[in-house]
Amino acid sequence: MKLPSNTPPRQPLNWKSYWKQLNALILLALLSAQTCHAAKLIAGATQLAESRQVGTDKLDLQNVVDVAYSKYKDLQDGANADYIPILATVPSDLFGVVIATKDGQLFTAGDIDYKFSIQSVSKPFTAALVMQQMGPQALLDKIGVEPTGLPFNSKMALELYEQRSANPLVNAGAIAAVSLIQAESESDRWAQIKENLENFAGTELPLLDEVYQSEYETAWSNRAIANLLYNYNRLYSDPEQALRVYTQQCSLGVNTKDLAIMGATLANAGTNPLTGKLVLNSRHVPELLALMATAGFYDESGAWMYSAGLPAKTGVGGGIVAIVPGQFAIAAFSPRVNQAGNSIKAMKAIRFIAGELGVGLYGANPEE
Ligand code: DON
């Protein structure tokens, strides 16, 4: 066949340049594969970052609160605590869920205005007052920060642990925290503790007198704890005074919104988002959150962190507040509690919200 005249004559095969071109092609392929992989990584990271920032999106926050409320509102598991007799009379079906952001926005569902007794949810906030007055080292030296792994009212913990009181989030350490408040008299001690809790909530909190009477009249176990601690030099005021003020502290009335704002104050590095008041020095907030992460659920603290991955505190009145540091707090209330004294509906609602928003401290951990 005759070649057209403008076709250059075929060059003999140049192996050197062929090899170069092949190398260039392989390099190009490798580079584009890497770029593709890098792009995938960036996309994944962006997705994760986006899911972790859902906290700033109003629609998502209201939606997840609504979904959590309707998902669990008919759950009947557990029963009201009754070792404090009046708690058994609280309507068991009450259920409220609130997210409060660090700038004070609220997203709510259910019975969010019902006032219930704060109970043990008060404990970290009084521990915070001890830190404010005496510094975090005092909490470490005079009470302890180890989780007991035992129920909140354990007397055995006092015998098991050499230092006796072990943690301000169980009854023994919490009564000790009350006794550590620098006060001139019983009424001064109570006034300071109440004011501190109100500063966290950004509103006045009423003493639920019927709860106080019911609890104080039956406080034999806590009285034993206070007296044992005093005997071991781990209580720092008259034991009966510490017991009375501690019982008053537990009998303060809060609603789910109040609890959420108390948590939002911690999410906001110690400054109340409603009042702008600095309630806890920001450098103590991580220490307090660490306590809540390790002991907030007593002998269920491990299971809680394993699932929800957030520092939180429960109360036998049915309230729970969890904190997403630097972002917001999730509070829930429902009176039916489990064996450990933790509200089942509140626990499930908060765990669900944390999973959906992907805000667990150790990474996004949605429910299966
Ligand atoms: O001292 C008590 O037993 C109660 N005032 C508080 C216990 C409590 O809230 C346990 N929480 N889940």
CA of 194 to the centre of ligand 1 (A): 17
pLDDT (0 to 100) of residue 53: 47
Q: Which atom of ligand 1 is nearest to the CA of 83?
A: 3
- pLDDT at position 367 is 87
Task: Please give the chain's pLDDT, 368 residues, in tens.
Answer: 333 344 444 444 454 554 455 455 444 444 344 443 334 333 333 333 344 444 447 779 999 999 999 999 999 999 999 999 999 999 999 999 999 999 999 999 999 999 999 999 999 999 999 999 999 999 999 999 999 888 999 998 998 888 888 899 999 999 999 999 999 999 999 999 999 999 999 999 999 999 999 999 999 999 999 999 999 999 999 999 999 999 999 999 999 999 999 999 999 999 999 999 999 999 999 999 999 999 999 999 999 999 999 999 999 999 999 999 999 999 999 999 999 999 999 999 999 999 999 999 999 988 88
Instruction: Please state the pTM of the whole predicted model.
Output: 0.85
Probe residue for ligand 1, chosen from 83, 120, 153, 225 as the CB with the greatest number of ligand atoms within 8 Å: 120
- Torsion, Cα 338 324 274 332, to 10 degrees, reads -20
- Provide the 10 A C-beta neighbour count for residue 58: 11
* CATH class given for the domain over 63-357: alpha beta
Beta-carbon neighbour count of residue 285 at 10 Å?
22
Listed in sequence order, the residues at least 6 apart from 1 whose beta carbon sits closer than 8 Å to its beta carbon are none
Q: Ligand 1, residues 86, 152, 246: which to mutate, most atoms within 8 A of Cβ?
A: 152
Q: Give residue 167's pLDDT.
A: 94
Model pLDDT, residue 56: 46
Atom of ligand 1 nearest to the CA of 152: 10
Task: Give domain limits for the chain.
Answer: 63-357
Distance in angstroms (rounded) separating the CA atoms of residues 161 and 44: 46
Q: How far apart are CA 97 and CA 356, in angstroms?
A: 15
> How much distance in Å is there from the Cα of 42 to the middle of ligand 1?
47
Report residues whose beta carbon is within 6 angstroms of any ligand 1 atom: 119-120, 152-153, 171, 215, 222, 250, 314-316, 341-342
Q: Which pLDDT value is given to residue 162?
A: 83
Measured CA distances, 160 to 51, 52, 111, 142, 271 (Å): 44, 41, 41, 17, 38
> Given this model, what pLDDT does residue 59 score?
73
pLDDT at site 21: 54
Q: For tokens 């076709």, name the residue.
A: 7
